[in-house]
Structure 1
Amino acid sequence: MALQSGKNRVTFKSFGVDLVGDLYLPEGFDENKKYKAIIGTSPFPQVKEQVPATYGPEMAARGFVYLGFDFLGMGESPALPGEYKKSRYMFRLIENTWDAVSYLTSLSFVDEVYGLGVCQGGSILASASVTDHRIKKIATVSGMMAADAFQWGDRNIVDQMIAGANASKQKMYETGEADYHWVNVIDDSMTEEEFVSTGTPMAADTYSYYGKDGFRGPDTVKNFTNDHIADQAMQSLISIGEHYADKITQPTLVIYSPSAPTAICSTNWIEKLTNNPEVLTFEEFSHVEFYFKPEAVKASTNAVAEFFNK
C-alpha cells in the first residue's frame, strides 16, 4: 500500500487475525529513507482514537514513525473466533505488542523500534520488553508498571473483584454469551457529579477523559465504551513487568507525576530496575492530564523525543 505523511490505516497479523492500527508518518515522509519508529501501547481500556491519536501526531511531528493500534478484541480489531469483544487480557496484549514490533521491523524504512507506553500501556510495554530486545529503548508516561501496591492495597476489595471476575468467567463458559460490566465503575451515562459521588479514587481526573462529557469519552470517540468484559480482573491484577524489572536491559525513561495516586507504580518500578533509568517528574500534572492536556503532552513528548534521539 502507498504510505504518506500523516495518518495511515494499516493492519498486521496477531493470533491469526488482522489487528487495525494507525501508522503516523513524519512530514515529508520518504520510504527510501530510514526512520526511528515507536510502538505505542495505550491505557486501559482505550482504543487507538484516544491516547495514540494524541501521541501519534506529536511524535510524527518530531520526526518519528508511530504505530498506535487496537488490541485484540478492542475497537476495530476483531476478537478471536468464538470469543468476545472488549476482552483486553494482559497476556495477549503482550503478544500483540510483540507482533506490532514484528510489523514495524518488517517495514523497509524503519531503522530501530522504540516503545512508548502510557498508563496500563506502560505495564504492557515493560512486560513485552523483558524478552523482546528488538525494542531498543522504552519510555513510560503515567505508567502502571509496578501495580501490585496500587491494585492490592485493600485485600477485601481485591477479593470482591476476583469473586466477581470468577463468577463472570463461569457464567460465560456456561451460557456461551459475553458478560460485560462497568469495569472502572464509571458508565457511559454518568454525570461527573454522579461519578464523583461513588467515592472512586481519582474520580474527577478519570471523568475528565472517560466521562460522557470528558475529552475522549464515549460520545466523542467511535468504538469506545466504558463497559468491558467482566472477567478482566483475573488478569489485570497480575502485574508481570515489575517482577522482571531487574531483567530489563534497554535504556529506560520514566515520566510521572509525584502528586498522582498512581506515582507508586512508577517509583516502585524504578527501585526494581537495574538499568540506571532516566526519571522525569512533573508535579503540576495529574495522572490523566498526560493523556490530553496540551502542556502535559508537550512536556512528555519533547522528553521522549530527546531520549529516543540520544
Structure 2
Amino acid sequence: MKNKSVLSVIGICVLVGTLWSQEPEKKVKPLKISDVFISNSFIGFKSEISTLDHFKSLAPESVFLQNDFSEFTNHKYSYGNINSMFAVNLGIQFANKEGTKFRNNPLLRIGIGYSQNSILSSSYSNETRTPYDTLISSQTGNTHYIDSVNTERYSMSYGTDIIHLDASLILRTDPEARWSMYGGIGFNFGISIDSYTSISKFNDEKTEIRNASQQFNGSFGIDNYNYESEHYKNETTYSLAAYIPLGIDFRIGKNRPFWQRTHLFYEFRPYMTNFFIPELSTISKVGFQNSFGLRVNLN
C-alpha cells in the first residue's frame, strides 16, 4: 500500500510539474506592418473629347478663345492617353481570432501616390487658300496653279498633378512561395496640387502647286511659321477611383535572407475614376493601369 501511495504522489507531482512548466501561448498585436511596396504605373484611358465651351469656362481670360471659330473644324477624334503614377504602400497583416499569430490573408495595403493626368483636350484648325500665280509649261502646255496656303490651328488641354491616398484589400496564394498571385479591390482619393489649362496657337504659311484637275503636285515648304501659347492655373480638382488589382509576385532570392524577402511584382488594374472639376462638372473615365514594382517583406 505504501508503494502505491508513493507512486501516486510521484505521479501527481509529475503532472503538476508538467502543467506548471507549460507556459500559455503568447498573444500578438492586432495588426502589424509586414511589407513595403514601391511601384510605378502607366495609366491608359480614352481621351475626353471636349468642346470650346469647356475651355472657355476653364480659361475665361484667354485671348485666343475670343476669336471667331465658326469657320474652324473641330477634330472630333479620340485617342489613347497614357498618364503615370508613382506610389509607396505599406502592407498590414491582421492577427487570427485567437490572437496568437498573423494571417496571410487578407492583406491591407495603404499608402500615398503621385500622378500626372491629362484629362481634357481639343483641337481646331482652319485652312485659307489664296491663288498666288499660274504657270503654263512651254513644252507640254500643261497649266499649274500656285496657291498660298495659310493654316491656323489651336490645341487645348486641361491637366492636373494629383496626390493620392490609396487603400486596397487583397487575397494571396502562398506569399512566401517563389511565384504567387493575388486579387482584390481598391480605392483611392486624390487632391490636385496643380491644375492647369494650356492653349497653343500654330500658324504657318506655305506654297502649294496644283494641276488643272486641282490635284496636289507638291509644296515649296513652309514660308512662315508662328507659335504662341497661353497657360492658366485652375482651381483644386478632386478625384475618386475604384479598381480591381490583379497581380503576380516573384520572390528574387532562394538563399540569402535579404533577397528571400525581396519580391518583384506586376499588377493589372481595370479602374474607373471620377474627376471633380470646379469650373465644369464631374468627368468620369474608365481605363486600365499597369504597375511594376518592388515588395520587401519585413518579417
TM-score interval for Structure 1 and Structure 2 normalised by the shorter chain:
under 0.3
Higher Cα Rg, which structure: 2
Higher relative helix content: 1
TM-score normalised by structure 2 residue count: 0.21
TM-score, normalised relative to structure 1: 0.21
Q: Greater share of strand residues, 1 or 2?
A: 2
